[in-house]
Amino acid sequence: MKLPKLFKLPRLFKSHDPNYAVIDIGTSEVTVGVCREGDDLNSRTVLGVGVQPQGRTSVYSGKILDLDAVIETINLAFDEAVMKASVAPKRAILGLSGGVVVPRSYRVRVRREAPEEKMGEKEFEVLAGQIESTTMDRAQSELSGATGEEFVRVETVFVSYQMDGARVTTPLDIPGAEIEVTVLHYFMESSKVRSVNSLADQLNLEIVSLVDTAVYAATRWSEAHGDFVLLDIGGDTTQLVVIDNGKIAEDQSLFIGGRDITHAIESELSVGYEQAEQIKINYASGHLDQERARVVHGIVSEVVGYIVDAVVIASRSTKLKQFPPKFLISGGTRHLEEVTTALNSHPWAKENVFGVFPKIETLPDQESGFNELTKMEL
């Protein structure tokens, strides 16, 4: 696998090949999109999408347990997307889940020597190198001190820019006295990098970016939603990402998700796993008989209650005094009404998790981690 650049300059020119793939590896499914770059980030086109279910034992908590099975699933989704797009890209953005990729986010302000002059590419390149180096040292120190494990940097992204307090898409060709950059580093344990290397080699793709899907999406959503607590409810992991003051303040994996609901249905109704999964889908869409709907409602309420309890526990281990009072809900289980009911009915005031009672917003289908990856700068 080719590691991404230490930092990425704002794009001035398109590459010769505008096509690329987005591979989002979740615990319950793999989504692959074939995309084409436009003149800017807002004019990119998704040419074709392929979705394939993961095997039940292929991935757990974001960790690849059966590499051959995951590669086969990716290939099936890739072929489906290529067939729809009529083009086979050679490079890819890879999104992982479940806390396998460890983020560290920082906001850096720098005073410019010549504020009246527009920022040029050479000035920004020097500035970016200094920011990357300084924040990288800090991130490495934090990680080694917290875990004792050896971590490898796999990606660095400059998430957002401000010039004299005004948000800008790129700082190039803009004058100003002070530039503020939010930088996001991604790390992986050395042993896990080897699995990704093997995956990339067998797929015969150049991995140009490797990120945590939920974390990256949260940084993008902060532009529209401000500060919030993201609950990304996946297959066997719910990812909690806290955006505070415009940067990542917390990222935790809660080892409970939609598959726990399926397993409980499987046990309670004495059915196979596939049938239990279909019952869950039918329940979510309102197409389940009254008796079984009553049983499933109880199961879903119980599992969602565990997720809420896990949020409370996570809040006690954070450096933040309180979480920002807003939930964003994403992931495959987000549309179950029990999720918002549990969050709305919880006695948050007693827990002192939030300063005021939190607002709760379920993200629409078009706001997904996969969609944010398709708009990522290469």
Candidates 119, 115, 96, 165; CA nearest to 369 is: 96
Q: Judge contact between 215 and 97, C-beta under 8 A.
A: no
Distance CA 195, CA 10 (A): 30
pLDDT at 41: 61
Q: What percentage of the chain has pLDDT greater than the value 90?
A: 54
Average of per-residue pLDDT across 196-212: 87
Amino acid sitting at position 217: A
Residue 11 gets which letter from DSSP? P
pLDDT by residue (tens digit) across 354-373?
989 999 999 998 889 999 99
pLDDT at 272: 94
pLDDT at 6: 37
pLDDT at 306: 92
Candidates 152, 235, 232; CA nearest to 195 is: 152
pLDDT at 155: 87
Is 23 a residue whose pLDDT tops 90? yes
Q: Judge contact between 94 and 21, C-beta under 8 A.
A: no
Select the more confidently predicted residue: 181 or 41.
181
For each of the domains in the chain, give its residue range(s) and CATH number, in order of start: 19-99+192-217+369-374 (3.30.420.40), 104-187 (3.30.1490), 226-362 (3.30.420.40)
Average of per-residue pLDDT across 110-118: 94
Is 318 a residue whose pLDDT tops 50? yes
Counting every residue, how long is the chain?
Answer: 378
Q: Are strands 151-163 and 45-53 parallel, antiparallel or unpaired?
A: unpaired
Q: Is the alpha carbon torsion for 167, 361, 232, 141 positive or negative?
A: positive
pLDDT at 4: 39
Candidates 318, 103, 374; CA nearest to 215 is: 103
pLDDT by residue (tens digit) across 216-229?
999 989 989 999 99
Is 174 a residue whose pLDDT tops 90? yes
| DSSP H or E segment with residue 144 | helix 121-147
pLDDT at 340: 94
Q: Is the alpha carbon torsion for 164, 165, 166, 169 positive or negative?
A: positive
pLDDT at 9: 40
For 159, half-sphere exposure in the C-beta direction (CA atoms, 13 angstrom radius) is: 27
pLDDT at 40: 66
Phi, psi torsion values for 89, nearest 5 degrees? -70, 160
pLDDT at 148: 64
| Summary mean pLDDT of the chain | 88
pLDDT at 1: 36
Distance CA 204, CA 208 (A): 13
pLDDT by residue (tens digit) across 237-248?
899 999 998 889
Average of per-residue pLDDT across 254-281: 93
Average of per-residue pLDDT across 3-30: 67
Candidates 237, 203, 191; CA nearest to 81 is: 203
pLDDT at 146: 62
β-sheet bridge partners, residue 104: 185
Q: Judge contact between 348 and 357, C-beta under 8 A.
A: yes
Q: Judge contact between 213 and 99, C-beta under 8 A.
A: no
Contacts of 287 (CB under 8 A, 6+ apart): none
Name the band, by pLDDT with cuts 50, 70 and 90, for residue 147. low
Q: Judge contact between 342 and 244, C-beta under 8 A.
A: no
pLDDT by residue (tens digit) across 47-99?
999 999 988 888 876 677 888 999 999 999 999 999 999 999 999 999 998 77
pLDDT by residue (tens digit) across 292-315?
999 999 999 999 999 999 989 988
Residue 91, SS3?
strand
